[in-house]
Structure 1
Amino acid sequence: MQTPAHAALGDLLSYSGERTLLAGTLVRVPLGKREVLGVVWGSRPMAEEDAALEFKPLGTALDTLAPLGEAWRDLVAFAARYYQRSLGEIALAALPPQLRDLSGVQLARRLKRQGSAPVVDAGAAGPSAAAAATSDEQADALRRIDAEPGPFLLFGSTGSGKTEVYLQAVAALLARSPAAQALVMVPEINLTPQLEARFRARFEGRFGAGAVVSLHSGMTNPQRLASWLAAHAGTARIVLGTRMAVFASMPALALIVVDEEHDPSYKQQEGARYSARDLAVWRGRREGAKVILGSATPSLESWHQSRPPEGDDPGGRYLRLAMPSRIGAGALPAVRLVDMRLQPSKTVLSGVLLDAIGQRIARGEQSMVFLNRRGYAPVLACGDCGWKSECPHCSAFRVFHKIDRTLRCHHCGFTERVPRACPACGNPDIAPVGRGTERLEEHLGELFASVQRPDGSPVRIARIDADSTRKQGALESQLAAVHAGEVDVLVGTQMIAKGHDFRRITLVAAVNPDGALFSSDFRAPERLFSLLMQSAGRAGRDAAYLAAQGTTAEMWIQTQHTDHPLFIALRRHDYPAFAESELAQRRAAGMPPFAFQALLRADARTQEAAQAFLNAASAAADALEGAQQVARYPAVPLAIQRVANVERAQMLVESASRAALQRLLAQWQPVLHGLRRTPEGKGVIRWLVDVDPQQI
């Protein structure tokens, strides 16, 4: 059953049944006053000592559905053990939500309906899209993927054709085996539609309309259930999805692709905090499936794991496949740094950047301006009394959204209309401070209001972020407009910075990236470098278009730190140099991947209660076996310590040995449950363990 880790409910519950059920069978069982979905993990005959115990009887067995396989159960058990969660929480979260509510009769009806749906005969299907010609680098990567066991790190620059390698690797797999399945993962939902279109064009004509399915949280519950059932039955040969897809039941899984493997979105940040990328590697090893991790800017963990042997160092566990060249002889964009220290105070877009964008508009080309902050302005403030738009429920400011005249907290969702005057002093002159994408879009509209496109029509500026794409279908229509050339300047957050194949964009600009250079989070420079490299990769992807236009692709970065090593490496598109520098610093500081970390977090009514619980937990850990091998740092508040009137604190736990860290965490679980019932646990709402945290 689905139970959170802090609930202290055991992993396995025992029930009595009239017949033996196979492990992996789904059942309806009573739990308290409810009837819930459960998974049979094992069964045994009643023993004499069981006679004195009173077992609740099993409900309905959903045995019209094939049991969940041993490999799937092993994956769930490993994830629960490694990430310190309960079996039920992982297992039930991995199943489609609608499946949890279906009775046996309803499921049988659904399976019958799905089984009677028309399936295109592969022989009678329409033509598939032809595979593109491969470059020497692509051909070499495909040859090695076919010949060697992996796992593979496909290190390919943006535009080098990594997706074509995925497509041809999947095609080779399906051609070899009539039953084999492939799992292809992307970090974000907005990248799924375009990838799905390419896979459908390539494979549906040959393998039928149901051969390719998607699996992500943006789908409706009936859609998710249909895709999951198709994968479980083996009728879906290819599953495309986000991090949740790593738990898809695929009985004939033979290949796993993790695209943009560096992306932090692969780490779940609520509930069971698993890393889908790491689980994909584990699952591939358990099921004998090949694993391809692809990125132009690999995570430093994957880069370190793919290091070649050198001297006494045996090298990493992954095999690195390099594809440094862009397809079609296209060059990577030239990176230009604008020193904002030399610009007038409060300059948003420098004159040289505006001139460069204007030249692109005049030639009918497209530009992209990247700012990783949505809304109109991050703060609304009063110049007289100092009032700011703080959220009453969080230790954060509410963001000003001009489009609907609201102040909205991006942490708890609390929203109010913008006040007519300062709530504190009555001053009517309250003003926005700072800029988000909404304000940047407006600013660009004002600057280019008198400029015309080559056909004489006015310049069109579009914005893509979480606010502008809230309505269903909005993202697809906006992307279609960009691809059709209807947009001259595209403004957006990281949603537009990765994965998209914009053919007419020749200039990309990053407006304000400096904040991450001096973050307290040691991973911030790695994320910034990756984001800027990915953003640069949106420019100049079509060499033929550049040649026809007689132009070159450029990436403009406005910064006050032009001599920073990160920007120096970025100008050369030299990820290996950046990675070597960062890894040297991490090795010296004893940080991942040279150490292993976990966070113990506590949410409570007061900050004092949260920290008292964590400090008591640390003191109690001293008595545990192997505690001396694991460092425990003092409890501190989170960067945003209060969200929705709940105070949050955390304690970092670190060890040079992964095994030592895991042993301590496993021993710590009953101690933490016990602390909840002591004075130190008073006021604590919940606690959680985050293994291999991505943000500290």
Structure 2
Amino acid sequence: MVSLPASLGADEEVIEGGSVVAVLLPLPLEQPYSYHLPETLSVTRGTIVEVPLGQRRLPGVVWGRQDSAEVSAEKLKSVARVHSVPAMSRVQRRFITWVAGYTLAPPGAVLRMAVSVPAALDPPEPQRVLTRSAQAVPEDFRLTEARRRVLELAEQGFAHPPGVLAREAGVSTSVVKGLVEAGLLDSLAQRPRAVFAPPDAGRCGHRLSEGQAAVAETLSRKVTDSAFSVTLLDGVTGSGKTEVYFEAVAAALAQGRQVLVLQPEIALSSQWIERFERRFGVRPAEWHSDLTPAQRRITWRAVADGEARVLVGARSSLFLPFQELGLIVVDEEHDPAYKQEDGVIYQARDMAVVRGQLGQFAVILASATPSLESVLNVRAGKYEVAHLPARHGGASLPEVAILDMRRDRPERLPSGGQSWLAPSLRKAITETLEQGEQALLFLNRRGYAPLTLCRACGHRIECPDCTAWLVEHRQRSQLQCHHCGYRAPLPRSCPSCGEEDSLVACGPGVERLEEEVRILFPEARHLLLSSDTLPGPAAAQDLMRQIQEREVDLIVGTQIVAKGHHFPWLTLVGVVDADLGLNGGDLRAAERTYQLLQQVAGRAGRAERPGRVLLQSYLPEHPVLQALQSGDREAFLEHEADTRERGFLPPFSRMAALIVSAPDGQKADEAARALARTAPRAEGLDILGPAPAPLAVLRGRHRRRFLVKARRDLPLQKLLADWRGKVPLRGGVRLAIDIDPYSFL
């Protein structure tokens, strides 16, 4: 972790009208702009204001008093108005500055993530509600049955919005409008009701075991100490980590603090939200990409006003305007989904730790398969650790076996088609279904097939905008690029040679696996779970309910089924291609594969019925698979740490990736060569490249890559910032810098 500045600076001061203020705008800008503050206004640092920029008006944050400006006072534009929203806290402003410095992103670009909902910067308009007036019903007024129902409802003393009153009375809005015009209903302006009820911290939670209670007490004490700490909650799958850290959430709420729970796949957190509601009596606030604009506006404002006491969200929720944040929980802390790859490139888990240090509160990292970085931070004494070594309720961990596909070869399907399931796995599925239990087939590959080629000429169908094969999605009769989103209908003939009916699907995806399941197990009720089949959180919640209520016998899914779900009747997990992901240029390939397979294996046998896991592999001797079979995680981590240290790879060194991109390859090459000529030189600094990135063309842009490895004591950000400043980029050329890269494509 990079060291933090020693102080926050001077206490907040009131800046009177007539001053010049520095306003940071939510644009990719390196510095605030200077504005004149009218005599009628006064602000503090962090006040959110509206300012003119060209022909537009934008929100901005007062970053401080400006003692001198580059233009004369007469030419300065003035602050237009002050938004009626709590000022951005000093801690959050410092967090924005820190993230910008660490990621080498413009501070304005980081601010844009914090001021992401401009419509929420002013309080909502008062709501129009209707009540029964004091006027009696005139004798000549025709009181129909519909009108009578509306008046009876209004006379109960509650104020209702017009639409709600009409709906409750079972009438049209025109009936309500007529009663208003007749003077029988009064229209009042009412402040909108609170959307997020406060969670009940004192509500009785799940009965904890002795071991769980001890860990819960430790975590709660970290919260009540009101000091910075990081605790790795290391518990096997099914050990009750969620219920345990709920006690720390309760402790923070009892102190009047807000809580943020980060999750890697918030749209799939229906089971977590149900647990939270049982524990605290209300649903938490949510923050993810599937929220409507209105929901985003309401939630952002509720966080800023302190109404939302607990929020569960994706990585971007880290930048919401919390005023009283007292705890961050990073659930499934190992998950690569916490890495933001576009725009401001950051690792949300690591930034959560920084946010806790700046705010001086506790951070909990929870996982059954902790990242190597977190494990080594525990060993170095930077983090503390709390262990949950056993499953809750006496459930046992599943038995893991490896199926050697060199011997246990799949047989042809009854139709003569290719099969992807070994005979041993087929038999295990049959036995599981006969016992009335559920089975899961896991293959981390979306679509029907990863490659479509021509049998006549060998042509492989690629994305026109990326150097990537198009993936066949047979259910939609489409080919799709999973990098840029390009889609095309399945062609009848080869685009290269024109031969008809010559295109064949190569390799299995989950859709092809589901096709095999329908053939082999026609009586089984099956379900396909992948990101392509889940349009949103509501659909995900319904599918999870179907599995829990045993409306499904056999599940075919990708990695989304590996993330913390609890299915009591699921006793068999079959991993169709356990070797997928073990090879390639990713330095974390082995670690990621271990974590993913261990997580998906953890779905089996979580209740009183024992579970088993079968891993299909052509590399059964691989250390990852051996560790999964033996259950010896520590041996795998030691092997992985030793491999990384010998290769001078993170976390034993620091790494950055520089990606030069341009509309055409020549411009990309020229810019990359110019960067290479000015590359910094220092002992302990290695720069590899430039070379075409594995995805040499992405979204129509040609890409060249540098990889930088540095000793941990070198000022990597300063070296890279100085290097970047030596080469002007023109002609549509862009340079993206990824500190601590996770993707090497």
Selected match of 1:443 from 508, 516, 522: 516
Q: Summarize the alignment of residues 361-376 of structure 1 with structure 2, pairs less than 5 Å apart.
A: 361-376=433-448
2-structure distance, mates of 1:438, 1:493: 10
**1:668 maps to what in 2?**
723
Superposition deviation, residue 173 in structure 1: 2.6
Give deviations 1:89-123, integer Å, cap 9, x for gaps. Answer: 111122333x2x5685x75659999953057987x
1:513 CA displacement: 2.6
Which of 53, 56, 74 is the matching residue for 1:34?
A: 56
| Separation of aligned partners in 2, 1:254 and 1:324 | 27
Q: Which runs of 5+ in 1 are unaligned?
A: 308-314, 450-457, 547-551
TM-superposed CA distance for 1:154, in Å, is 0.8
Q: Please point out which of 241, 247, 250 is paired with 1:171.
A: 250
Number of the residue aligned with 2:103: 83
1:134 maps to a residue whose letter is L
Residue 58 (structure 1) aligns with = 79
Alignment of 1:53-132 (within 5 A): 54-62=75-83, 64-97=84-117, 99=118, 101=119, 116-118=192-194, 130-132=204-206
Aligned equivalents of 1:109 and 1:657: distance in 2? Answer: 55
Structure-2 residue corresponding to 1:685 = 733
Aligned counterpart in structure 2 of residue 157 of structure 1, from 223, 236, 241: 236
Structure 2 counterparts to residues 289-308 of structure 1, below 5 A: 289-307=361-379
Letter in 1 for 2:245: Y
Distance 1:470 1:564, change over 3 A: same
Distance 1:376 1:528 in 2: 22
Alignment of 1:644 with 2:699, yes or no, is yes
Indicate the residue corresponding to 2:678 in structure 1: 620
Q: Identify which range, 191-200 or 477-486, moves more after superposition.
A: 191-200
Classify 1:608/1:481 alpha carbon distance in 2 versus 1 (closer, same or farther; 3 Å).
same
Q: Distance in 1 between matches of 2:524 and 2:738?
A: 48
Per the TM alignment, residue 330 of structure 1 is displaced from its structure 2 partner at its CA by 1.0
1:312 equivalent in structure 2? none
* Equivalent position SS for 1:532: helix
Secondary structure (helix, strand or coil) at the match of 1:384 reads: coil
CA deviation vs aligned residue, 1:493-514 (integer Å, no higher than 9, x gap):
1011121111111011111131
CA distance, structure 1, for counterparts of residue 463 and residue 578 of structure 2: 25
Structure 1 window deviating more from structure 2 (135-144 vs 279-288): it is: 135-144
Q: How does 1:489-504 map to 2 (within 5 A)?
A: 489-504=554-569
Q: 1:124-153: CA deviations, max 9, x gaps?
A: x99986312222322222232244563101
- Pair 1:562 & 2:620 matched: yes
Gaps of 5+ in 2: 1-24, 130-188, 223-227, 411-417
Shift of 1:259: 0.6
Equivalent position of 1:430 in the other structure: 503
Corresponding position of 2:142: none
SS at match of 1:389: coil
Distance in structure 1 (CA, Å) of the matches to 2:370 and 2:473: 35
2:210 corresponds to:
136
Question: Normalising by structure 1, what TM-score?
Answer: 0.88
Q: What is the deviation of 1:671?
A: 2.3
CA distance 1:468–1:135, change in 2 (3 Å):
same
Instruction: Give the CA deviation at 1:33.
Output: 2.6
CA contact (8 A) 1:154 1:320 kept: yes
Q: Deviating runs (4+, > 6 A) in structure 1?
A: 110-114, 119-122, 125-129
2:736 partner letter: L
Cα pair distance change 1:121/1:170, threshold 3 Å? closer
1:32-60 per-residue CA deviation (whole Å, 9 max, x = no partner) reads 3322221111124668x863672222222
Aligned residue in 2 for 1:453: none
- 1:179-190 maps to which residues of 2 (within 5 A)? 179-190=256-267
Q: Which residue of 1 aligns with 2:599?
A: 534
The C-alpha deviation readout for 1:451-502, integer Å capped at 9, x for no partner, is xxxxxxx311100111111266322221111111011110111011121111
Superposition RMSD in Å: 2.5
Bigger-Rg structure (1/2)? 2
**Equivalent position of 1:2 in the other structure:** 26
Partner deviation per Cα, 1:615-650 (whole Å, 9 max, x = no partner): 32232233xxx7444321111222221122211121
Letter in 2 for 1:567: L
Counterpart residue type for residue 28 of structure 1: E
Distance 1:250 1:485, change over 3 A: same
Instruction: Tell me what 2:462 maps to.
Output: 390
Map 1:213-612; keep pairs closer than 5 Å. 213-307=285-379, 315-344=380-409, 347-423=419-495, 424-449=497-522, 458-470=523-535, 473-543=538-608, 546=609, 552-612=610-670
Listed one character per residue, the Cα deviations across residues 354-376 of structure 1 (whole Å, up to 9, x for unaligned) are: 11011111111001111111111
Structure 1 contact 398–409 (Cα < 8 Å) conserved: yes
CA separation of 1:596 and 1:126: change in aligned 2, threshold 3 A: closer
- Cα separation, 2, equivalents of 1:156 and 1:195: 17
Equivalent pair of 2:450/2:469 in contact (CA under 8 Å): yes
Task: Render the CA deviation track for 1:536-579: whole Å, top value 9, x for unaligned.
Answer: 11111112xx1xxxxx3011100001111111111122222111
Task: Tell me the amino acid that sits aligned with residue 398 of structure 2.
Answer: P
- CA 1:354 to 1:695, structure 2 compared with 1: closer, same or farther past 3 Å? same
Letter in 1 for 2:689: P
- On the 8 A contact 1:506/1:554 being kept in 2, the answer is yes
Which has the larger share of helix? 1
Offset at 1:202?
Answer: 1.6
- Aligned AA for 1:637? P
In terms of mean alpha carbon deviation, does 461-470 or 530-539 score higher? 461-470
The answer (yes or no) to whether the contact 2:655–2:710 under 8 Å persists in 1 is: yes
TM-score by length of 2: 0.82
Deviation of 1:347 (Å): 4.5
CA distance in 2, matches of 1:126, 1:298: 31
Q: CA deviation at 1:236?
A: 1.7
Greater alpha carbon shift after TM alignment, 407-416 vs 602-611:
602-611
Could you report, residue by residue, the CA deviation over 1:583-608 in whole angstroms, capped at 9, with x for unpaired residues? Answer: 01111111111101111111112334
User: Which residue matches 1:454?
Assistant: none
| Deviations, residues 215-245 of structure 1 (Å, cap 9, x unaligned) | 1222112212212221221122211111111
Judge conservation of contact 2:30–2:108 (CA < 8 Å) in 1: no
> Which residue matches 1:455?
none
Provide, for residues 149-186 of structure 1, a one-character-per-residue CA deviation record: whole Å limited to 9, x for no partner.
Answer: 631011100001100111111112323x2x21111111
Structure 2 CA distance for aligned equivalents of residues 50 and 172 of structure 1: 52
Which whole-Å CA distance do the structure 2 matches of 1:40 and 1:487 have between them?
A: 55
Q: Tell me the secondary structure at the aligned position of residue 346 of structure 2.
A: coil
> How many residues end up aligned between the 2 structures?
646
Give me the whole-angstrom Cα distance separating, in 2, the residues matched to 1:374 and 1:645. 23
Offset at residue 254 of structure 1 (A): 1.2
Counterpart Cα distance in 2 of 1:290 and 1:336: 39
Give the counterpart letter for 1:193 in structure 2.
S
- Offset of 1:527 from its aligned partner? 0.5
Partner in structure 1 of residue 172 of structure 2: none
Contact 1:618 1:632 in 2 (8 A): no
- Shift in alpha-carbon separation, 1:194–1:471, aligned structure 2, 3 A: closer
* Structure 1 residue 88: Cα displacement: 1.0
* Greater mean deviation of Cα atoms: 86-95 or 125-134: 125-134
**Which residue of structure 1 lines up, in the alignment, with residue 8 of structure 2?**
none
Which deviates more, 245-254 or 481-490?
A: 245-254
Task: Flag the 1:103–1:564 CA change in 2: closer, same or farther, 3 A.
Answer: closer
